[in-house]
Structure 1
Amino acid sequence: MRAIWNNTVVAESNDTVVVENNHYFPPESIKREFFEDSIAGTTCPWKGRASYYSLRVNGELNKDAAWYYPEPKEAAEQIKGRVAFWKGVQVVL
């Protein structure tokens, strides 16, 4: 799977975990040069507290376009530290 934004591959892996129709990429598969820490956070009743990254590609910012669960609840342990995308990021084969 590849995650693409602004015509640039920001993550690529053959080892994604699908939860609620989102592909969660392993942390080592993301291209860190495009990721910036965000102060955003949300809480899911069964997964726990999510943290966010913004993407910066070719001078353009996609705020809070990726999220991950650093310490998920037990039911979501399989996505611990993995990164998922939204806000126009295409996830394709």
Structure 2
Amino acid sequence: MTPSHLPSVDLKPGQHQLRHFYASAEIADGVAATEVQKRLGHKNLRTTVETYHHLFEDQEDRAAERVNARMVGLPIVPGGDSDATGTDG
């Protein structure tokens, strides 16, 4: 039972939730916005970017970290985050 001050949430995975999960996974894996757009069937790239902008921002941050790591000669871990500081934390 949900307390009256909290909205109820449908946790059953439906088509809409699976679609968002799929798109989020693709973006996290570094798939380009235009490719995600095509795979989701969005007519306009703006729809894709506006819906998932927060994930694309994370993707840009990870790309910048990889470039920085290359510039300072640290190893790049495919699909993972590089530690451009040279430390473990």
> Which interval holds the TM-score relative to the shorter structure?
under 0.3
Higher-Rg member (1/2): 2
Indicate the structure with greater helix content.
2
TM-score under structure 2 length normalisation? 0.21
TM-score under structure 1 length normalisation? 0.21
